[in-house]
Structure 1
Amino acid sequence: MARTGTRPVVTLKSTAGTGVAYVTRKNRLNDPDRLVLRKYDPVAGRHVAFRETR
């Protein structure tokens, strides 16, 4: 059985201030810092940076 502690579920919030959020998993060993991904924001209508919230 896999350990759930190494890949926690994280929420990514849009930096455009629209309130859009994505939910994903990350590997805590490879990415110990906060995750920043460039994803599509449907409210803004373009790709923006999404930052990990805790």
Structure 2
Amino acid sequence: MAKGKDARPIVRLVSTAGTGYTYVTRKNRRNDPERMSLRKFDPVVRRHVEFTEAR
């Protein structure tokens, strides 16, 4: 049971505030082939910042 190219891979979202805080989520590779970018809460700086997909 090999897991080849999954349609929904697990991606790591890293804070752009430079705190090192990360979120882990899944994305649909067919609908969103480019890098994911979401605005989420960073508890280290205690505000909402942009999180980008790390490879």
Question: TM-score, structure 1 length as denominator?
Answer: 0.92
1:5 — aligned with what? Answer: 6
Alignment map for 1:11-26 (pairs within 5 Å)? 11-26=12-27
The answer to whether 1:39 aligns with 2:45 is no
Q: Which runs of no fewer than 5 residues in structure 2 stay unpaired? A: none
* RMSD of aligned residue pairs (Cα, Å): 1.3
Q: Which runs of no fewer than 5 residues in structure 1 stay unpaired? A: none
**Displacement, 1:15?**
0.1
Deviating 4+ runs (over 3 angstroms):
none
Question: TM-score, structure 2 length as denominator?
Answer: 0.90
Which amino acid in 2 is paired with 1:17? G
Corresponding pairs, count: 52
Q: Equivalents in 2 of 1:44, 1:25: separation in Å?
A: 24
- Per-residue deviation, residues 1-41 of structure 1 (Å, max 9, x unmatched): xx871000000000000000000000000100000000000
Identity %: 63
